[in-house]
Amino acid sequence: MGPSPVPVPAALIDHARKVAADHHTRTGTPIDTPTLRARLGVPAPMADAIAAQL
């Protein structure tokens, strides 16, 4: 993939990593983009950009 089309603040990436790790701990599976989007409350393009960096 190329560079992220949506700028994502580093703090949001850090938070997303914690959310993803918590999801993995609770469910035993990696978080998917729709779940990540719902947990973070961000628009789909930003969720895609975040997921690409996890």
pLDDT value at position 7? 86
**In the predicted structure, residue 24 carries a pLDDT above the cut 70:** yes
Q: What is the mean pLDDT of the chain?
A: 91
**In the predicted structure, residue 42 carries a pLDDT above the cut 50:** yes
Angle at 42 between CA 54 and CA 19, to 5 degrees: 45
Q: How far apart are CA 47 and CA 36, in angstroms?
A: 7
pTM for this one?
0.83
Give residue-wise pLDDT tens across range 2-20. 454 678 999 999 999 999 9
pLDDT value at position 6? 79
Residues 20-46 have a mean pLDDT of 97
